[in-house]
Amino acid sequence: MNGYFFDMDGTLYNNKFHEVSKKTFEMLNELQVQGHYVALCTSRCQRELKNLPSCMRNFQFDCMISDGGALILGKDREIIEMNCIPKETMKRIDLFCKEHHLEYRYSTLNGNYFGTPYSKFAHNIYFHLYLNSPVFKPYEDDDVLNVLLLCEGEEKEQVKALIQGLGYVECPDCFEIRACGIDKATAVKKIMDAYAFETTYGFGDGANDLDMLKEADVGVAMGNACDALKKVSDVVIGNVDEDGIYYYLKNNKGYSE
């Protein structure tokens, strides 16, 4: 049995057209029919998965890793592991954003919220990506799995000092923040330790997939992946809109007819 760990956006899911190709979905099903372990590994929170195409919403992944690795759910959606950002740390993040008039979004087990008043621009970005957007709900001792803190320029250094010791990925216009030592790779490693996979494959396209691809036996970057990910991958395949996953696995020795 092989283990297959798939990022969602830009990997399984074509954000431009808000679809998962028929061939990609057929391949996920075929892998499971053959007895392989098929897992989702996304930075989306659970709420952000609710507007996916029905084929993805209803697909029974053997494991669902969300919130950038902070939440691991089993096949029956039972909680395997849940790692939250310490509440005192969240209070500091919240206060910093209010004092500096920065927008941030936080996710919980079942929710997705802006912790500070948000702009139309932020709303539109979220809706464009996920077909839904967080609502405004001030932070009040919630159990937070993942934070996206929007900032640019000089304030980035201040944010880095604020979140020192936490797990995070820096993007051009934001930070994705998780609990200390938590990322997609740590979640994948936990599943790998629980199963005797013959070979583990990790598929991704973004900077937050970098450690996951390193952790896997075979790191697979999409053709539309960022350059940093392509550099650490073992193989670069076709783009998400070219059925890259389907054609790679169809011709890969880990997949048999």
Report the chain's mean pLDDT, rounded to a whole number: 93
Share of the chain above pLDDT 70, in %: 98
At 93-140, the pLDDT tens digits run 999 999 999 999 999 999 999 999 999 989 988 888 888 899 999 999
Indicate whether 83 pLDDT > 90. yes
CA distance 213 to 185: 8
| CA 187-192-195 angle, 5° bins | 135
Mean pLDDT of 55-61: 92
For 87-178, CATH number out of 2.60.120.260, 3.30.1240.10, 1.20.1260.10, 1.10.1740.10 equals: 3.30.1240.10
Q: Is 154 exposed, middle or buried (0-12, 13-18, 19+ CB in 10 A)?
A: exposed
Is residue 221 within 8 A of residue 238, CB to CB? The reply is no
For 3-82+183-250, CATH number out of 3.40.50.1000, 3.40.50.720, 3.40.1160.10, 3.30.750.24 equals: 3.40.50.1000
Mean pLDDT of 194-215: 95
SS3 state of residue 179: coil
The structure's pTM equals 0.93
Write out the H or E segment, with its range, that includes residue 256. none
- CATH 3.40.50.1000 placement within the chain: 3-82+183-250
